[in-house]
């Protein structure tokens, strides 16, 4: 019976996460499995992968075949590269220390690349937040100016109405005086 390394879906609708499992190829996707070797959560940015590296490598060396998605996850984590390097040791191309040095160099480069990606995402988020705050400050300033203008117009209208109200009794008094003289 062929053994597969594949993903078993869990989680709710539209919020799935996956267990990375070793299972019989004839077993259902979310059914019985031999061993759980990790998990994969694509909902985070970047996607979260937790993998028991030694178990995955052991199963790969025993002949377990990964599915396409599981293969890309194992490749990302370096299991396939480690298997490749160990194959070179078995063929006598180089010794185990050289193989381990090659793998560590690859792993260091990968970690540096991931950190650069995370830094770029953080910088992009920070710049987007700063830009949003600047836009909000502009809008706030425009609203404050508009409110100040409305307030000044209302005060001018009130002053004009008060001046008109003061002028009206004087005008009436003059009219009354003119009518009384006549």
Domain boundary among 14, 42, 77: 77
Residue pair 56/77 in contact by the 8 Å Cβ criterion:
yes
pLDDT per residue over 77-119, tens digit each? Answer: 999 999 999 998 888 888 889 999 999 999 999 999 989 988 9
Domain assignment of residue 56, yes or no: yes
Q: Is residue 162 part of a domain?
A: yes
Cα atoms in the 13 Å half-sphere on the side-chain side of 124: 7
Establish if 83 belongs to a structural domain: no
Rounded CA-CA distance 31/37 in Å is 15
- pLDDT for 43 equals 94
**Per-residue pLDDT at 114:** 87
Q: Would the pLDDT of 34 be above 90?
A: yes
Q: Are 41 and 57 in contact (CB under 8 A)?
A: no
pTM: 0.66
Angle between helix 68-77 and helix 79-91 axes, rounded to 10 deg:
80
Q: What is the pLDDT of residues 147-171, one digit of tens each?
A: 999 999 999 998 888 888 887 777 6
Give yes or no: residues 46 and 122 share one domain.
no
Taking the CA atoms of residue 3, residue 72, residue 101 and residue 84 in that order, the dihedral angle to the nearest 10 degrees is: 50
Whether residue 182 is found in the same domain as residue 150: yes
**Confidence band (pLDDT; 50, 70, 90) for 1?**
low
Angle subtended by helix axes 79-91 and 96-181, to nearest 10: 160
The residues that bridge with 40 in the sheet, in sequence order, are 18, 49
Element (H, E) at 5: strand 3-12
What is the domain range of residue 182? 94-182
């Amino acid at each position: 019976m062929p053994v597969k390394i594949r993903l078993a879906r869990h989680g709710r609708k539209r919020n799935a996460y996956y267990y990375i499992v070793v299972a019989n190829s004839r077993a259902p996707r979310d059914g019985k499995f031999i061993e759980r070797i990790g998990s994969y959560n694509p909902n985070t940015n970047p996607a979260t992968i937790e993998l028991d590296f030694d178990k995955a490598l052991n199963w790969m060396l025993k002949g377990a075949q990964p599915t396409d998605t599981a293969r890309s996850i194992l490749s990302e984590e370096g299991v396939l590269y480690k298997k490749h390097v160990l194959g070179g040791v078995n063929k006598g191309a180089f010794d185990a220390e050289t193989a381990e040095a090659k793998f560590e160099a690859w792993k260091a480069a990968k970690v540096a690349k991931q950190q650069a990606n995370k830094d770029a995402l953080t910088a992009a988020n920070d710049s987007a937040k700063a830009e949003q705050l600047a836009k909000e400050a502009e809008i706030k300033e425009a609203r404050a100016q508009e409110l100040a203008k409305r307030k000044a117009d209302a005060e001018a209208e009130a002053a004009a109405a008060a001046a008109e109200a003061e002028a009206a009794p004087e005008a009436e008094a003059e009219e009354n005086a003119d009518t009384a003289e006549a």
